[in-house]
Amino acid sequence: MRARTPLIYRPVRKAPRENWMRFFGCVVIAGGLAGIATAAQTQPDASRFPPVPDLASPPEFPDPLVMSDGRHVTTREQWYNERRPELITLFEQYMYGFLPPPPEELAGKIERNDRTAFNGRAAIKEVTVTFGPPELPRIHLMLVVPNRREGPAPVILGLNYFGNHTLVRDPAVGLSTNWMPERGEGVVNHRATEASRGTWVDIWQIEKTIERGYAVATFYNGDIDPDRPDQRGIQTHYRKQDPQFDWGTIGAWAWGLQRAVDYLVTDPDLDRNRIIVTGHSRLGKAALLAAAFDQRIALAIPHQAGCGGSAPSRTTIKRAETVKQINDQFPHWFNARFKEFNDQPERLPFDQHCLVALCAPRPVLFSNGRQDTWINPEGQFEVLRAAAPVYRLLEAGDFIGTELPPDGKLIGGTLGFFVRPGGHSLRSEDWTAFLDFADAQLGRPTKPRSMAPATGTPSTAAGKTKERQAALLEVPRWEVHEFELRDLNLNLRADPERTNTARIIRLQPQANSTSVLQIWACLNSSSRKLRNRHRTSRLSKSYGVLANAMDGT
């Protein structure tokens, strides 16, 4: 049997490692856990991508399964090893800017954990996430976790517009101290006040979410970038490769979401296999980008994300936002090179269907208001149709829609679409669609997650082969397992690049595995043995593959 494609990692300055320590309510995540499975193992040479005037200008969507040199992608291996890394570099080169590697160290300190929130139905955790010197911005992450649940809860992660305190009425949730736009209710002199507390409760529908068994994780987008053309946030702390490729605000927010994921995968109350990312409007653009680049995210729901997110750059819809309009109004959202496409978007060597394709084989839902033509619901529908060939190649599902659905009807399948009456807003019925889609694709929170492919995939029929089932192994589902080395019949090889602070062990799959996954784990060199709590996931049991990581003691 032909070998499968290995897991894909973004290169970092040091070998990736996973070693977190829990003490006094603080979690420390060291050495590049942040970037695991975010991009390709090796990046193509960006210098070989031509200037904008030299690019071809087809009016139709570029084929996501055709390489820049004209070769057709016909296998899973070619997609993961060649086309996927090429697309990531194209997006960074021509649109979002180059996102920096994950920080060398990231820490999450639990500042508060109140299990009596929402009349005892949920716990509110406030966590400060740091990732470097004190002068770097901090993420103030708020978690709302249902108390009544069976096992770890799936979690919906999203940025918010005016601070965590606006999403709940809890007077103990801290006010954001960062700069804010004054359009926010209760914002005075660009700072939050008590008058803004709870002003977004009806928009975010957290009570509905926890009643359905989902946790919520959120932080203020201004923790990472203030969304101002005259001021940057986290970007100023990273060396620029080239001024024209400096990453924009959308890229910065996506990078911040990935840092939040770094913490979420360590929280025992949360199901790291079911991390869902969402966002509304500009924050939906960041959510889709984060999911495309980070395969730890299990499902993406960009809501009304429009141009630069879920809507195409090439569009013939008269009232839809264009590349020129978005760059003129928000010059800080994308990199400088993207502005060169203002009057010639057809020269882009990709369109947003390729960003959706980078999420494959994971589910994606586009949701919209029918009257919100500015964000181009019709164009978004075509984006999903154009991304579907990649999902079919990976035997991960399809987009089953043939025309825009009636209001309130959710098109299911791995690629989903939902439209309801109304304009640009986030409503209760949107959250219902989000949760219904997540239930269908990832399994209801109260039930163990099924490893069967999502509804609508070609491999759902009885008698599907193990080879097709093994396709699910290509997406890393990060699980921590602790075990004794003597219990394992594995080929262990020390990585000589590590110092005496830690050593990396490469775990090769057992001989009967149908995948050639290369799984990394970090062992503290001061440890002489590991706790004997060997737990193997259903996925591991099925295919003889040890799951992806282990805790050192």
Which residues form the catalytic set? Answer: 281, 424
- Tokens 């192994």 label which residue? 473
CA distance linking residue 94 with residue 86, whole number of Å: 12
Could you tell me the two tokens for 112? 């508060």
Contact 529, 551 (CB under 8 A): no
Residue whose C-alpha is closest to residue 142's, from 106, 183, 108? 108
CA 229/CA 263 separation, integer angstroms: 29
Question: Please, which residues have CB within 8 angstroms of residue 483's CB and are 6 or more apart in sequence?
Answer: 530, 532, 533, 534, 535, 546, 550
Instruction: Rounding to the nearest 10 degrees, give the CA dihedral for residues 349, 384, 252, 521.
Output: -100
Query: How many angstroms separate the first and last alpha carbons of the chain?
Result: 38
Write out the two tokens for 449: 């997650």
Structure tokens at 107: 């820490």
Maximum distance among all Cα pairs of the chain, rounded to whole angstroms = 67
Residue 182's Cβ-count burial label (10 Å; 0-12, 13-18, 19+) is exposed
Q: Which two tokens stand for residue 45?
A: 């040479």
- Cα→Cα distances 248→58, 334, 369, 469, Å: 26, 4, 27, 39
Residues 237, 12: contact at Cβ < 8 Å?
no
DSSP state of 210: H
Phi, psi for 530 (deg, rounded to 5): -110, 155
498 contact partners, CB below 8 Å, separation of at least 6: 15, 17, 504
Q: Does residue 370 contact residue 377 with C-beta atoms inside 8 Å?
A: yes
DSSP calls for 401-429: -SSPPPTTPEE-SSEEEEEESSSS---HH
Residues 6 or more apart whose CB falls under 8 angstroms from that of 430 comprise 303, 367, 418, 420
Task: Identify which of 232, 229, 266, 243 has the alpha carbon closest to the alpha carbon of residue 108.
Answer: 266
- The single-letter DSSP state of residue 237 is G
Instruction: Give me the DSSP letters along 299-356.
Output: EEEEES--BTTTB-SS---TTS--HHHHHHH-TTSS-GGGGGGTT-GGG-S--HHHHH
